Structures are given as C-alpha cells and as structure tokens.
Structure 1
C-alpha cells in the first residue's frame, strides 16, 4: 500500500507509511517474508549488529509479564560482516529501506560497525543502540551519561554514510537532557528502548538468567508517550520514531499526537506476526475516516491542545 495520506519523509528515509518493525523483534526479516511482502512496510529496523559475532546471554532469557515481556537476549548476532554479506543481501529483493541497528562495547566498535554497514546499498539510516540494558558493557552505559552519549554520536557521524538516529534509554532521570545532548549530532531519535525489570519464579528466584531484563509491550506505552511528549517540548523539529507497547491503530494515533513522526512495532510481532501490515491497512482507513489529508495533520495535537483555548 502506498497511500499519500501516510507517506513520510525523514532524514535518509522516504517512507510509504510510518509503520516499521522495531529492532530485535523482527530478526532480519526472512522469517516474516514467508508470511507477507516486506515491501509493504515503511522500513525495517534490523537486529543489532556488532563488530564480532555475539552468542548473547545464557538461557532462559525471555519471560512473560502482565501486559508485557522481559527479555535479556544480549545482542546475539552473527557479526557485521556476516550481516552485510548475507542478511542484507537477502533484503535487497524488497522495496523497503533498511535501518541498521549498531551496537558495541566501545566507541571504536561503534565506528567500525557504522562505517561498514552504512555502505550497504539498502541501508538508508543507522539506529545507534546506546541504550541496551542487557549487556555487561557498552549499551546502556553510553545511554545514561549525556556527555559520553554526545561523544559517541559525534564519532559515529564522522564515519557514517547515512543519517544516524539515536535510540534513547528510558532508564534515566531526565530523558530531555539525554535528547538535548545528542540532538546537535544526531539526525533523529528513536524512543524508547526497554525499561529494566525483573520477574521471580515461585521459588523466589529470578526467572531470567541475567537476573534483570528489558520490559517491553503495552505496559510501557504510557512511559514512552510521556517521554516523547517531554522531548518534543524541548526539541520541536528533531525527527522521532516512537515505540513502546503499540498494539493497535489507536496506539499509533496516540504516538503521532504526542509528536512522533513514525512508529516501530516491537513485542506484538511475537503474538501476531501479521501485525505490521494489518496496522498499515487500518491506519490508512482511520485517517480517511477522520477526514485528514495526511496523518501528520494530528502530529503534536496533545501538546498543542494543552497550550490552546480548550483548556483555558
């Protein structure tokens, strides 16, 4: 589907629609391509790439929670060279831009991966993973200190051939400070990553081998909406791809209303592998029913309304 009501242009990305699978919840897309044409998607955020292959954390590393899921996969992936030579080559058959998720344990690791993967022909943007809570080094350590995050983003920008989006962690005291710290170097933001959480078994011990994991799913949607709302007040122009607990079209409309430009679908891909194309079709119908010329006609409606006469 290519509806003018849903078309969106962001740095490096000309999107047919604003819906894409979130990194880590779609692998590299091959399994889902057996179910539907990936060209229907706005973009694909592929699984994180690191300099060397990673086996991830030991099992068990996934646990269900009320209205969500905990995971501690630990960035398992075959390494950037394998991804470029195999997974990205497979995706070339689809008319869909790829956003490559880049992770590492040191700034030089990020630079190496970004330099290599940004040269792949179908990679249109990078998502800089500075906020993964499930690895012992790197990841969230970069995502919780504003100055360290700024230096990392600037270093990656020096070597990247494509725009760089920074994935922000919600596990901070002030997410606006983090957003401001990277805004000058970044081309956009993706937010939010998972919240750190824990689940215990009946024996009183943590179910996940890593002890803690990243909480995702509908439980975190209110947190994500609030954080995007806060960031948008301070950074009115920076592109934002919102994520966290999106399960239906109303959720997408909520994200656009607080200022997101596009959205990424995560946990729901596990419970309904057809969720992305279903949302795209329903979103187009809803926008038409609302009498909107374009989805972005409601962008930022939440804070514009609060500042307007309706509440005076």
Structure 2
C-alpha cells in the first residue's frame, strides 16, 4: 500500500544526440591544426527565442550552435533543447555577363533548427507494467489540450515555469569540451486530467524538479568531401541591383573541413511527487514536443 504523504525522490538519465555543423574549405588550402577552444564560443543571457526567458548556447562560428532555453521569473517558459546547423548544398562560382569573376566559392547553404520542448509531466497507471503510455491529444489550432488514453492519466504538471539556473561549469581537455549546469523549478501545481483523479493529494504541488545538463562537443576532421558546384551568371538589373541570369553545373569540388559533433545528456531529479491514492501502479513520464524549421539565406 502506498503512503501518499511520502515524498518521492528519483532520478533518470536521458540523452539527445544533437546535429553536426560542417565548416567546408577547398581541399587545396593547407590544413593547419585547429584548437577546439579557438573555434567555439558561448553565449548566454536573456532571449526572445521560443517564447523567451534565458539561454546558454555553444556556438561554432556561424555554422552551428546548440544549447538550452528556459523560463525565468519575468518570462516563464518551458525548457527547450535547441540545435541549429548549416548544411552546405554546394558552392557557386559567380561571374558577370563579361565572364569576369564576381565571387569565388560562394557557399550555398541552408540552416535547420531542431528544438525539443519539455512540455509537462504526467502521472499514469502503468496497468500492464510495460513502462509505456500510449495516448493522443487533440489540437485546436493553437495548442494541444484533451487527452485520450487506455491507461488512466490522473494528473499533470505544466513545466512552463520560472527556472533557477546554477553556475555553468566548463571543462576543456583539448580534444573535447563540456559544460554542466542545472535548472530547478519548485512548487509546481498539479492539474487534474482524469475525472476520477483525487482533487487533493499531499500538498497538491510537485515540490521540486531539477534538470542537470551535460553538454559536450568535439571536432572531427573530414577529408575528400565532394561538394556540388555551379557556374552562376548574374547581370545588372533595375536600380543597379544584381539579378540572376543562369547557372551551369560544374564538376564537384573536393573539400575538407572540421565537423563539430555534440550531444546533450541530462539527469532529472524529482522531489515530492504525490501519487493519486487510486493509482494502483503509478508511473510518471515527461511529455516532449519537437520543432523543426528550415531557413535558406537569400
């Protein structure tokens, strides 16, 4: 029999393998030793990205970035894992109508942003003891709302909150770098999901949730990468603006470059979840939302 007044504490580790960013250069350029800490910079502070709040990003030039966005006292928000990378589609050798080179090795690339939102925590009855919950949610065009499920979902906690951030600990061993810090939210109120759920359990709040992040990055050298290239002809248009005229495919260009590989692991510690007294086989999960967007610069 479960004592519903007992405060529970448990932790789990999860991992996101994030994307890679590539800095490509023509193969005929001599390659010099590259120090990882000379290629990477960090960025932190207030942000408007993904609903706003605060952020900590690790950036590799203009080609790749990854990190965390979270809510603050003045701008409550969920926690997001974010990765942005550039993907090289090829190179353009740009000429004018007279056959004169206008720009050499112009990089044609697209940017992709991946984001994972930690939306909410759910308590459900794991009646078949498989550790899984199969459910769907309706969408009203603006947000997800109602739940449909076979195993009862008793209540949830919305993770849109004011998160308290710890100091970031940075380590550098030459070949790789790491950044570790924690986010903590307290007194998160329960929201009933199933009509059979007890409206009062314990102190009716999740007392504390701590997410501890372990972000790492390292560089790998890639040689003999084949990049598509085109001969692009431009002409002068109205008001002196450059206008695209035509493009012809050229032989692929052999390139080399450094690829930054990075990942994010996190531990979560949950203190003070009050299980519903009707829940005979209680389990808790975190609901994730995924966002993907693409941008091609003009």
TM-score, with length taken from structure 2: 0.21
Query: TM-score of the superposition, structure 1-length normalised?
Result: 0.20
Higher relative contact order, chain-length normalized (CA < 8 Å, sep 6+) = 2
Please state which structure has a larger fraction of its residues in strand: 2
